[in-house]
């Protein structure tokens, strides 16, 4: 396999983020030719040889021990999410995953029961690739009212929240701070790739880039470019900074076409019995204008469904 691979790309991006003064080094040398720390500076901080670290970053060495990874993580000032991501990438680099198409994701009866238990709150179930596996009526009209509400039931037509965020004008206009939401989604997708390096459909959605080693390739295969990589320059730019941030909880201002501005906190709950799936719940402060707006939207949605059923 050619190129530095995802591990090398991540190390190089994180090294470029640091300045000598960030790690207590004095920059007394000649004019720097690279952004951030030099390889020899990072190797010194981590207590490894320059040649070893260079091989690791270039994708020529895949056997880094836990102690070495911990030392490199400390030198790079990685947070807990980034450290976990580094470990996953290092583990994936030690093997060549078998390219396979995973089984279709399904929502269990228990998860559907959980979905029905939320009353007056927008809730949706996302798969590992951010496909919408299920949603309640309020989540549908809040986040994607222009999409067929029954589309999650059809595996071939399921909405994908990442795809819509970058490629659907309606979803782009929904978020007041679209770039902040997009950055969070890209960070979450990067975690998903690290956890599921063998998932071809995930690679077909986001790609692995032409300059890096594919998780899914054999030595003679070609890289997977990916739909978002091909169609969205903004996705490419955000992905290039290699930030690792899970979409666990965040507050966003939504500009809804029916009820106006709604501020919601999107919280992600992991389903213990359905690995890779998560429940996203959108809440509003009690007694707030946003809570009233959601109640109004719920009434309008119920009236529309009643009219359509006649």
Examine the pLDDT at 233 and tell me if it is beyond 90: yes
246 exposed, middle or buried (CB, 10 Å; 0-12, 13-18, 19+)?
middle
pLDDT for 128: 92
pLDDT for 90: 81
pLDDT for 218: 33
Q: Which of 65-69, 214-218, 293-297 has the highest mean pLDDT?
A: 293-297
Domains 5-93 and 109-309 share a fold: no
Reading the block at residue 260, the tokens are 């106006």
Q: How confident is the model at residue 109 (pLDDT cuts 50, 70, 90)?
A: very high
Q: Once rounded to an integer, what is the mean pLDDT over residues 135-145?
A: 96
Enumerate the domain spans of the chain: 5-93, 109-309
Report whether 160 contacts 191 (CB < 8 A): no
More confident residue, 225 or 57: 57
Examine the pLDDT at 275 and tell me if it is beyond 80: yes
Examine the pLDDT at 146 and tell me if it is beyond 90: yes
What digits encode the pLDDT tens for the residues 1-32? Answer: 455 677 888 888 888 888 888 887 776 555 66
What digits encode the pLDDT tens for the residues 30-73? Answer: 566 666 888 888 888 888 888 888 888 887 777 788 888 898 98
Examine the pLDDT at 217 and tell me if it is beyond 60: no
The CA-based diameter of the chain, rounded to the nearest angstrom, is 78
Q: Across all residues in the chain, what is the average pLDDT? A: 84
Examine the pLDDT at 143 and tell me if it is beyond 90: yes
Q: What's the CATH number for 5-93?
A: 1.10.260.40
- Measured from the Cβ of residue 228, the count of other Cβ atoms closer than 10 Å reads 25
Q: What is the pTM of this model?
A: 0.72
Place of tokens 């790739």: 193
Q: Once rounded to an integer, what is the mean pLDDT over residues 245-274?
A: 91
The DSSP result for the chain, as a single string, is --S-HHHHHHHHHHHHH--GGGGT----SS---SSS--HHHHHHHHTS-HHHHHHHHTTS-----HHHHHHHHHHTT--HHHHHHHHHHHHHHTS-PPPB-PPPP---HHHHHHHHH--SS-EEEE-TT-BEEEE-HHHHHHHHTTS-TTGGGSTTT--BHHHHHHH-HHHHHHBTTHHHHHHHHHHHHHHHHHH-TTBHHHHHHH---TTS--TT--TT------HHHHH-HHHHHHHTT------SEEEEEEEETTTEEEEEEEEEEE-TTSTT-EEEEEE--TTSHHHHHHHHHHHHHHHHHHHHH-
5 exposed, middle or buried (CB, 10 Å; 0-12, 13-18, 19+)?
buried
Architecture of the CATH domain 109-309? 2-Layer Sandwich (3.30)
What digits encode the pLDDT tens for the residues 149-205? Answer: 999 999 889 999 999 999 999 999 999 999 999 999 998 888 888 888 778 889 899
pLDDT for 177: 96
- Give the span between the Cα atoms of 197 and 214, in whole angstroms: 9
User: What share of the chain in percent tops pLDDT 70?
Assistant: 84
């Amino acid at each position: 396999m050619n190129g530095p691979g995802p591990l090398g790309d991540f190390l190089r991006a994180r090294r470029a983020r640091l300045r000598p003064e960030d790690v207590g080094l004095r920059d007394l040398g000649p004019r720097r030719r690279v952004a951030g720390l030099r390889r020899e500076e990072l190797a010194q901080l981590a207590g490894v040889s320059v040649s070893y670290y260079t091989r690791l970053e270039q994708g020529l060495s895949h056997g880094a021990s836990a102690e070495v990874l911990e030392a490199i993580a400390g030198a790079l000032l990685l947070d807990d999410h980034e450290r976990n991501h580094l470990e996953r990438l290092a583990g994936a680099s030690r093997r060549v995953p078998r390219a396979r198409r995973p089984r279709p994701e399904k929502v269990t009866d228990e998860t559907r029961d959980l979905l029905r238990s939320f009353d007056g709150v927008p809730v949706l179930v996302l798969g590992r690739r951010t496909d919408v596996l299920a949603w309640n009526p309020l989540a549908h009209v809040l986040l994607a009212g222009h999409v067929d509400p029954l589309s999650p039931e059809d595996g071939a037509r399921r909405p994908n929240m990442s795809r819509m965020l970058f490629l659907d004008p309606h979803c782009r206009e929904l978020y007041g701070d679209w770039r902040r939401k997009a950055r969070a989604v890209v960070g979450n997708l990067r975690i998903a790739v690290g956890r599921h390096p063998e998932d071809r459909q995930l690679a077909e959605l986001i790609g692995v880039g032409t300059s890096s080693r594919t998780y899914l390739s054999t030595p003679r295969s070609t890289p997977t470019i990916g739909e978002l990589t091909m169609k969205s320059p903004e996705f490419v730019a955000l992905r290039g900074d290699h930030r690792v941030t899970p979409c666990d909880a965040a507050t966003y201002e939504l500009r809804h076409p029916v009820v106006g501005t709604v501020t919601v906190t999107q919280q992600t709950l992991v389903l213990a019995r359905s690995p890779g799936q998560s429940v996203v719940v959108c809440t509003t402060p009690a007694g707030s204008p946003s809570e009233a707006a959601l109640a109004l939207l719920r009434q309008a949605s119920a009236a529309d469904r009643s009219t359509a059923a006649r």
